[in-house]
Structure 1
Amino acid sequence: MLKWIAVAAGVLLLAAGMVPLAIIWIESRQARQAGGMEPHVASAQPARRGAVVVYFSRSGNTALAARHIANRLDADLHALEVPEYALGLRGLAHSALDADARRNDPARLRGIRPRTLDLRPFDTVWLGSPVWFYSPAPPIWAFVEHNRFDGQRVVLFNTYNSNIGDDQIAAFKARVMARGAASFEHRALLRGRMTRQIGPDEMLRRIDADWLAGDAVRAPLTARTPAPAAP
């Protein structure tokens, strides 16, 4: 009897150890897949700075969404970096621990780079983040704490695997409004469970249909007319 209990315990421990390894493998594959898609194209009208997209991403899904939004809105693009959250076991552990800690202590936020940006030239600020523990990831909370959004429209966008806590979005909105925003909107896209997620092309199609329908957008990259060759 004790032998079978020991065997069962060993199997459970092995299975528990395989879960983070599977997550790391999936995240790395997603990063490779999304990383080469739709590079950001600088604004065709640099003097007209209507929108800016600021985002944090680990596995590349939110980064791809951010690049797509920036390209479609002819917007500036800025990535937030947190070296401690890099892909791999250590980054996965740090991200999980910090996300859980922030829910219990909202002031507990790790440093981000860049910490501040000059957002004054923009009418609309898009803030992008994955969802960890039913909440936007800590780096986007940190960005809100260190920046002002006076008189601006702020749009939070999230890609996620399972659920988002309405209380967390309400708390995020409250912080954004306290930092001077004129309005707040939320865009969310459920990609599905880790092993059954929609592909990146379908994600971008849904972003166009569900997130950008009310915004003035420029043509997709594949539909743009190439610039004439120099004489």
Structure 2
Amino acid sequence: MIKWLFIILAVVVLGLLSLAIWVTQTEKSQHAKNSLRLHNAEPRITLDAKTAVVVFSRSGNTGVLADHIAQKHNAELFEITATDYELGIPGWIAALNDARSNVATITPSNINLEKYQTIYLGSPIWLYSPAPPIWQFAKNNDFSGKNVILFNTFNSKFEQHFIDDFEKLVRANGAKTFSHRYVNRGRMGSQISSQDMLDKFDSQDN
């Protein structure tokens, strides 16, 4: 009996390890493609920009959307980084462990948003909630009189009560209006293309 328990445990551990390797390799592949796309993106002139786009993106999918939004609105683009969630198995485990948290160590922690009228805040969805770094940024910053738009990309779905809590947070920090836009990219391994993702986001303007 004990022998079979060890065999079952070994199979489970091997399965989890295989899943972790597949997910992290897929994320690294996506990151490489997205980095190349962003490197080849059209340069922007953002003098007197009235819109800011702030994004946390681990594998770069939401980062591609953020760049697209910035291009459309001649906006300044700011990237949030969080070393705890770097690509690789340790970062993936940390992301799973912290997915429902609203606390993270981020860089930069604050941005002077005073000159902007509209602030886009972007992140992936982790376990149905916006990723912790964008929560931390929202807690740290002043949105007085701003129009705040949360945008997300994800593989599965989000739960509305997390979005409602996020709205309460940015309104408590002064936001004048709040809206939420998102794109479901599809399950990992069978996701829509980057261009389809951008097209789906733009279709929400109609």
Shared fold, TM over 0.5? yes
1:136 aligns with 2:130: yes
Where 2:37 maps in the other structure, the secondary structure is coil
Residue 82 of structure 1: aligned partner:
82
What is the TM-score normalised by the length of structure 2?
Answer: 0.92
Contact 2:146 2:176 in 1 (8 A): yes
Where 1:127 maps in the other structure, the secondary structure is strand
Residue 98 of structure 2: aligned partner:
98
Paired with 2:174 and 2:2, the residues of 1 have a C-alpha distance of 63
Match of 2:43 among 34, 41, 44: 41
Letter in 2 for 1:171: D
Paired with 2:160 and 2:42, the residues of 1 have a C-alpha distance of 31
CA displacement at 1:203 relative to structure 2: 0.8
Contact 1:154 1:185 in 2 (8 A): yes
Where 1:42 maps in the other structure, the secondary structure is coil
Q: Between Structure 1 and Structure 2, whose CA radius of gyration is higher?
A: 1
Contact 1:119 1:148 in 2 (8 A): yes
Paired with 1:116 and 1:40, the residues of 2 have a C-alpha distance of 27
Structure 1 residues 17-36: Cα deviation after superposition (integer angstroms, max 9, x where no partner): 11111110110011011111
Residue 226 of structure 1: aligned partner:
none
Contact 2:119 2:149 in 1 (8 A): yes
Residue 145 of structure 2: aligned partner:
151
Paired with 2:97 and 2:85, the residues of 1 have a C-alpha distance of 11
Paired with 1:143 and 1:8, the residues of 2 have a C-alpha distance of 43
Where 1:122 maps in the other structure, the secondary structure is coil
CA displacement at 1:85 relative to structure 2: 1.0
Residue 18 of structure 1: aligned partner:
18
After superposition, where does 1:48-67 map in structure 2 within 5 Å?
49-67=49-67
1:111 aligns with 2:113: no
Contact 2:147 2:176 in 1 (8 A): yes
**Quick one: percent identity of the two aligned structures?**
36
RMSD: 1.7
After superposition, where does 1:21-32 map in structure 2 within 5 Å?
21-32=21-32
Letter in 2 for 1:143: F
Paired with 1:167 and 1:63, the residues of 2 have a C-alpha distance of 24
Letter in 1 for 2:12: L
Contact 2:182 2:201 in 1 (8 A): no
Paired with 2:33 and 2:137, the residues of 1 have a C-alpha distance of 27
1:195 aligns with 2:192: no
CA displacement at 1:7 relative to structure 2: 4.0
Match of 1:181 among 158, 170, 175: 175
Where 1:184 maps in the other structure, the secondary structure is strand
Q: Which runs of 5+ in 1 are unaligned?
A: 215-231
CA displacement at 1:77 relative to structure 2: 0.3
For these two proteins, the number of residue pairs brought into alignment is 204
Paired with 2:6 and 2:108, the residues of 1 have a C-alpha distance of 50
CA displacement at 1:110 relative to structure 2: 2.0
